Amino acid sequence: MIVDKRYDHLGNLRRLLSVVAYPVQLAVASPFEGWHWFRESVSTRDALRADKTRLEADLRMAQFRLQRYEALEAESQRLRALRDSTVGVTDRFLIGDVMDVDLDAFRERVLVDKGAREGVFVGQAVLDSGGVFGQVSRVGELTAEVILLSDAAHAIPVQVNRNGLRTIAVGTGDVSRLKLPYLPTSADVLAGDLLVTSGLGGGFPAGYPVGTVAEVKRDPAQSLADVDVKPAAALDRSREVMFVWLKPEAAVPAAPTPTAAPAAPRTAPASAPTPAPAPARTPAKPPSPPPPEPTTPPGANEP
């Protein structure tokens, strides 16, 4: 023991024995370590999937809320009233998934898994994370058919965000291209201009991106310019879309006009009795005395 303590002669033997015992220790501990590894791997994968789903939902919501900021940045004093009217223009929104795509070469439409049961209605505005996607054309109980901006039968009122120029964008049947067919050659529109919804007509909320002017062709022999627009929405790639409800107060100003019309005729009969016809008849009585005046000439001979 004294020699081993001073010179460690048995150390080599202990190290050799530890090498021999290591496989046994590893064999005994491996089932427990494997079970712990499996549990951590499964729980980590589930947690990562849950985090991925949550982050995707948060990102989608953030994109929906941030898509108007570029339009609001460029607005000045001239568009302040318009901006005030568009703040909070949406009452609520609903996210739906694209179920089917119409393969007809002359129709650009998709089927979404939200319908009348959720309150979807014909003519409702539909957006995606990039901008305006389309409009509801037909509603079922559980599904809705959405006509895309690129459909040749669709048109949407827009305005150039740079200068406020208003016009109409129509579909071409090509998901990558829209047209502005009603702009004269002298119109102030340039390649790169952002087009946003004007809010006219009440179908779409104002200030949402529609597309970017890709090319402007001006022919002196033609009265109208040839303007191509690249849609802001991913019309051929979006899987999730958002249905938008406008706030009811946006449509309230039109209601008072019919009520004001009947109010005018009610005041008219009340004002009719005010002009008294009696005073008009009283001045007609003084002319009656002149007939007896012809009897006075005999009295004139008496003096």
Task: Retrieve residue 77's tokens.
Answer: 């004093």
- In whole angstroms, give the CA distance from residue 82 to residue 295: 83
Task: From residue 159, give the alpha-carbon distance in Å to each of 66, 136, 226.
Answer: 19, 22, 16
User: Which amino acid would we find at residue 250?
Assistant: A
Q: What is the CATH number of domain 77-252?
A: 2.40.10.340
How confident is the model over 147-159, as pLDDT tens digits? 999 999 999 999 9
Task: Judge contact between 207 and 87, C-beta under 8 A.
Answer: no
Across-strand partners of 144?
112, 139
Please give the model's pTM, rounded to 2 decimal places.
0.56
Residues of the chain with pLDDT under 50: 77-87, 250-303
Task: From residue 137, give the alpha-carbon distance in Å to each of 9, 103, 110, 121, 208.
Answer: 93, 17, 10, 9, 20
Look at residue 25 in the predicted model and tell me its pLDDT.
Answer: 77
Helices (H), strands (E): how many in the chain? 7, 12
Look at residue 103 in the predicted model and tell me its pLDDT.
Answer: 75
SS3 (DSSP) at 57: helix
Look at residue 92 in the predicted model and tell me its pLDDT.
Answer: 77
What does the domain layout of the chain look like in residue ranges?
A: 2-64, 77-252
Alpha helix segments (H runs only) across the chain: 2-7, 11-66, 69-74, 80-86, 256-271, 278-281, 297-301
User: Average pLDDT, whole number, for the chain?
Assistant: 76
- In whole angstroms, give the CA distance from residue 151 to residue 176: 11
Look at residue 238 in the predicted model and tell me its pLDDT.
Answer: 85
Check residue 119 and give left, alpha or beta (phi > 0: left; psi -120 to 50: alpha).
left
How confident is the model over 39-91, as pLDDT tens digits? 777 777 778 888 888 898 888 888 877 777 766 666 554 434 434 433 455 66
